[in-house]
């Protein structure tokens, strides 16, 4: 039923795209919009991962260039009974992450340098497990297609501002164009929100079960949200229709970008994880280490708050985490 509802919402997004085309160009415009939507979906199916990763300047890493991160993803993927996804790092100070790819066999997990630098090992494991849950649920293709169509709706709605009418005087007119520019992206946002809310809660639950500690993810969500309001993600600001792919909304909320704030409330997500923790238990032991070491820094072996400046990924080198 969840997938049926999601399919219906995606169909609604395509219908909205066709409706915008109809308002601008009549029946021919609707037909062209349908063809464009189909072509976009086919293109996105085969190129979604490369398209989004390139948009955010993500660099692929392996067991040699980022051994700790790569080993963590491999272990969690094994727990989730998933093929090993490709692993990427985005050079961005805002802590955040997303997954992409058309299926589990062609998936990728991307995390920012800010995420690796600011979260503990346990919190990072919770985030990675959440993204793997999206892959296991086949959400990655859906979210990328949704972002593509929603972005196109916003673009064509703004394009419609230049058409007060066509040769047959069937255009939306000036008032109609203004309404189109405002209401079409709003409608796309509502559909995105409906899809995102369902998928995020499901990924939270499965991610918590994959890592075995719901409160690791809950703590990570709190930390990421607090930082996201303070550290801008300029790449996401330039492509707000992709914001729903991240674990926490990366947008600052300024200007019109907040129309694409499709994530559920972090308070509600944390409350759900707390209830799940009460159901499945969990002693809070550190990921891959004895519980007695859980208060130490995530990678460098230094106690948290010790002031160590060494990067947890570069091995003390001044180069980036991918060399």
> Which of the residues are catalytic?
131
* Torsion over CA: 296, 297, 300, 303 (sign): negative
Report strand pairing: 97-101 vs 59-61. unpaired
Chain centre to alpha carbon of residue 193:
13
**205 is an annotated ligand-binding site residue:** no
Report the distance separating Cα 73 and Cα 111, nearest Å: 11
Report the distance separating Cα 158 and Cα 151, nearest Å: 11
Number of residues that this document lists for the chain: 323
Report strand pairing: 107-112 vs 86-90. parallel
Cβ-based burial of 114 (10 A; exposed 0-12, middle 13-18, buried ≥19): buried
Strands (E), 144-267: none
Give the strand order in the sheet containing 97-101: 59-61, 86-90, 107-112, 97-101
* Torsion over CA: 114, 117, 120, 126 (sign): positive
Per-residue exposure over 277-308, b if at least 16 CB sit within 10 Å of its own CB, e if not: beeeebeeebbeeeeeebebbbbbeeeeeeee
Report the distance separating Cα 307 and Cα 187, nearest Å: 48
What does residue 246 show for φ and ψ, rounded to 5 degrees?
-80, 160
Which amino acids are annotated as binding site for Zn(2+), given as ranges?
130, 134, 200
Q: Which residues are annotated as a binding site?
A: 130, 134, 200
């Amino acid at each position: 039923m969840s997938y049926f509802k999601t399919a219906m919402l995606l169909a609604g997004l395509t219908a909205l795209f066709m409706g915008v085309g109809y308002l601008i160009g009549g029946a021919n415009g609707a037909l062209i919009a349908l063809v464009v939507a189909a072509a976009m979906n086919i293109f996105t199916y085969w190129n979604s991962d490369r398209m989004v990763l390139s948009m955010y300047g993500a660099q692929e890493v392996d067991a040699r260039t980022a051994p700790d991160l790569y080993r963590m993803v491999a272990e969690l993927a094994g727990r989730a009974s998933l093929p090993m996804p490709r692993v990427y790092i985005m050079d961005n100070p805002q802590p955040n992450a997303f997954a992409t790819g058309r299926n589990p066999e062609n998936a990728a997990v991307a995390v920012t340098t800010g995420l690796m630098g600011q979260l503990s090992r346990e919190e990072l494991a919770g985030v990675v497990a959440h993204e793997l849950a999206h892959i296991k649920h086949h959400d990655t293709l859906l979210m990328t297609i949704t972002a593509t169509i929603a972005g196109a709706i916003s673009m064509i709605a703004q394009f419609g501002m230049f058409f007060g009418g066509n040769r047959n005087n069937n255009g939306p007119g000036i008032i109609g164009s203004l309404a189109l520019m405002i209401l079409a992206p709003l409608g796309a946002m509502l559909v995105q929100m409906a899809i995102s809310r369902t998928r995020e809660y499901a990924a939270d639950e499965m991610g918590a079960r994959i890592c075995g500690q719901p409160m690791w993810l809950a703590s990570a969500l709190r930390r990421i949200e607090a930082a996201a309001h303070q550290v801008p993600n300029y790449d996401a600001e330039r492509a707000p229709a992709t914001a729903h792919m991240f674990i926490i909304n990366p947008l600052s909320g300024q200007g019109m970008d907040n129309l694409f704030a499709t994530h559920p409330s972090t308070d509600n997500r944390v409350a759900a994880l707390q209830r799940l923790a009460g159901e499945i238990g969990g002693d809070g032991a550190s990921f891959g280490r004895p519980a007695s070491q859980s208060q130490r820094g995530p990678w460098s072996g230094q106690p948290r708050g010790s002031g160590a400046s060494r990067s947890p990924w570069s091995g003390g080198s001044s180069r980036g985490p991918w060399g």
